[in-house]
Amino acid sequence: MTAVMKTVGYAHRHPKRKQITFRPIGIIRSALREPENRDWDDVVSEIRIDRKWAEGLKGLEDFSHIIVLFYLSRSIGIRLQTHPKGREDLPLVGMFATRSPHRPNPIALTICRLLKRKGTRLTVKGLDAIDGTPVIDIKPYIPDNDLVKRARVAKWIHRLRSNRV
Amino acid sequence: MTAVMKTVGYAHRHPKRKQITFRPIGIIRSALREPENRDWDDVVSEIRIDRKWAEGLKGLEDFSHIIVLFYLSRSIGIRLQTHPKGREDLPLVGMFATRSPHRPNPIALTICRLLKRKGTRLTVKGLDAIDGTPVIDIKPYIPDNDLVKRARVAKWIHRLRSNRV
């Protein structure tokens, strides 16, 4: 990154902006404590937002779905290319063409159902994160922004689906 | 998609780890240099990924849409509650119930069309980011994970849409 950032306008004006520092806004509580290659659709877990952000959650319960950004704190190392889900029958593709955790900034994004908000505790369904995962941000799912009706995907995605273990 | 694979217990070993440090993976180049409250749907811009991640982009072009996570480097301050889009006719809601940039971790998420990839340069349409914006991550848009067909939203979202300026 260094070389490129030095040559572009923004970094010129802010040469020290090479690192971006975030702090968790909360933590995920789940019965699932170890990473698993499983179907998470029916997993219910709780997001506990730090109390100092309580007011910032007002009205979130009016949305049926939320976008959760969380930190893959147990992801170690970057794999530039990977077989999706570790399946060698699928092609080797770039990490940015997959949702692999082994990426330069190990941040995950999952859209899940918000079942309930009680103060700073959000009960969610379908969040594929283990107990203790730090949460970076929560956003409402807004179809006008976030819904793509006819997206084209790589062929391996179809194979992933049809051969679901 | 499983978020975490076989990795070592980092968060468990560092339960008090409070800071998360990321580095930009690239930068956005656009003709638009100042934040504007405009319709970005037809804006075409370029994402320049750092060359060291070139191999990690293989196969991204097989997806029509990508999810771009970017850093709102010009967002200053946190506003716990806000009138969406600064419109006082809309209710005051928590920052986490909006896409306001004034949030604890100023990270934005936009799903946009990938028109072309040429090496580490991605031409995209509909990315609401100004020139010089640091990019944190790129992910493929995968309907199986990311598409929600019948999402409920807050009432103010409908008013936002019907009264579009």
Distance from CA of B100 to the nearest CA of A (A): 9
Interchain contact, B97 vs A59, CB within 8 Å: yes
Residue of higher predicted confidence among B14 and A158: A158
Residue corresponding to tokens 């638009």: B32
Please tell me the predicted confidence (pLDDT) of residue A76. 85
Which of chain B's residues have a Cβ under 8 Å away from the Cβ of A17?
73, 134
- Taking an 8 Å cut-off on Cβ atoms, the answer to whether B97 and A60 are in contact is yes
* pLDDT of the residue at B7: 35
Write the pLDDT tens digit of every residue in B35-69: 888 889 999 999 999 999 999 999 999 999 999 99
More confident of the two residues A103 and B7: A103
**Which chain B residues are within 8 Å of A157, Cβ to Cβ?**
142, 144
**Residue A33 pLDDT exceeds 80:** yes
Is residue A160 pLDDT above 90, yes or no?
A: no
The pLDDT, as a whole number, for residue B6 is 33
Output the pLDDT for position A34. 86
| Dihedral-angle region of residue A132 (phi above 0 means left; psi in -120 to 50 means alpha; beta otherwise) | left
Residue B43, number of CB atoms within 10 A of its CB: 18
Chain B residues touching A129 at Cβ < 8 A:
3-4
* pLDDT of A59: 98
CB of A18 closer than 8 Å to CB of B24: yes
Chain B contact set for A1 (CB, 8 A): 23-25, 50, 52
Range picked from A13-27, A58-72, B71-85 for highest mean pLDDT: A58-72
Contact between A125 and A112 under an 8 Å Cβ cutoff? The reply is yes
- Residue A75's pLDDT is 87
Average pLDDT over residues B91-111: 97
Residue B17: predicted pLDDT: 57
Q: pTM of the predicted model, to two decimals?
A: 0.89
Predicted-complex ipTM score: 0.88
pLDDT at residue A2 greater than cutoff 80: no
Region A12-30: what's the mean pLDDT?
A: 79
Most confident of A11-20, A27-36, A65-74, B37-46: A65-74
Asked if the Cβ–Cβ distance from B50 to A97 is below 8 Å, we say no
